[in-house]
Amino acid sequence: MTPARETLHALILDGQGGARSLSFEELERWQPEDGILWLHLDYTLDSTRQWLEQDSGLPELAIDALLAENTRPRAAILDEHLLLALRGVNTNPGADPEDMVSIRLCVGARLVVSTRKRRLMSVAKLLALFEQGEGPRSSAELVIRLSELLVERMGVTVEELEEQLSDLELDLLTQPGSEMRQAVRSLRRQTVTLRRYFAPQRDAFNQMLSERLSWFTTEMKLELREISDQLLRHIEDLDIIRERAAMAQEELASQQGEQLNQRMYVLSIISAVFLPLGFLTGLLGINVGGIPGADNDYAFLIFLLLLGLLVGGLLILFRRWRWL
């Protein structure tokens, strides 16, 4: 076995919760009886592709799964290997949570090969657990712990979305506006996108539960079932958040319609007041003989007074009709 030199990390599990990094020379001499080996690779590198295709000894279908550019969460059994494609929330700095990060795994009893393109925080957390001596003790437990960390970070993201929505709902009555509408739309978009990846991941967990592998014990399946149920709760929470966001969006649309109606009402009142004024001024502005008061020095002031009285009368009338 001659692994790629660009291995992100190569760990041999000690079976007690710890792990030791292997040098390239030690990797070349590794044998299954030496311990459980975890190789983590970047599938975008040519050296990784070359090693997987020529030197890994893995089945062709497993190699294709490890090198796949685009893949949905899934699980499949190939001989005694478990093929996994999982996704985690993107918590890298400056990234959107819904831009999910994928990891592909080919898991056997003594060898785990995983590939990724972008850094996954759950893998970093798993490495930290090894350093503390609290990491997985077997390949099956490695799958369980990684799945648990992925779902845990999903839960954190769902809680953050729920807090954002709660803040938006509190501001809904006091600060409605275009920014609020944009925030609600963005929240709904994130919720829909996350759910689109969460649901297939749960299907992958359920598929693992239904398969039989000699190295995947019943106790591990019980833990995996609990993780699957936890992911289901996150999916249900996303559905609730999406419904609440839809209600908030409807409330914003209702407020916008009410504001528009109020403005149209004010314009209608103004039009009703100035319509007779415009009629009278237009009538007296025609350039023909016989206009009343043309020879009276006080005619203009009298006309203004009459217009003022007319406006006052209209306002009193509108108030009596409860239009104002």
- Strands of 101-107's sheet in order across: 19-21, 9-13, 36-42, 111-116, 101-107, 81-88, 74-78
Q: Are 16 and 141 in contact (CB under 8 A)?
A: no
- Predicted local distance difference test score (pLDDT) of residue 236: 93
Reported confidence tier of residue 178, pLDDT bands at 50, 70, 90: low
pLDDT digits (tens, 9 = 90+) for 241-296: 988 888 887 877 787 788 788 888 888 888 888 888 888 888 777 777 677 777 77
Has this prediction a pTM greater than 0.95? no
- Predicted local distance difference test score (pLDDT) of residue 149: 92
CATH fit for domain 262-320, picks 1.25.40, 1.20.58, 1.10.3470, 1.10.600:
1.20.58
What mean pLDDT is reported for the chain?
Answer: 84
pLDDT digits (tens, 9 = 90+) for 8-41: 788 899 889 888 888 878 877 888 888 899 999 9
The whole-angstrom separation of Cα 258 and Cα 254 is 6
Q: Are 199 and 235 in contact (CB under 8 A)?
A: yes
- Predicted local distance difference test score (pLDDT) of residue 6: 58
> Would you kindly state where each structural domain of the chain is located, as residue ranges?
9-255, 262-320
Which of these, 281, 248, 273, lies nearest to 323 by C-alpha position?
Answer: 273
**What kind of fold does domain 9-255 have according to CATH?**
Beta Polymerase; domain 2 (3.30.460)
The whole-angstrom separation of Cα 116 and Cα 211 is 25
| DSSP class of 15 | S
Reported confidence tier of residue 94, pLDDT bands at 50, 70, 90: low
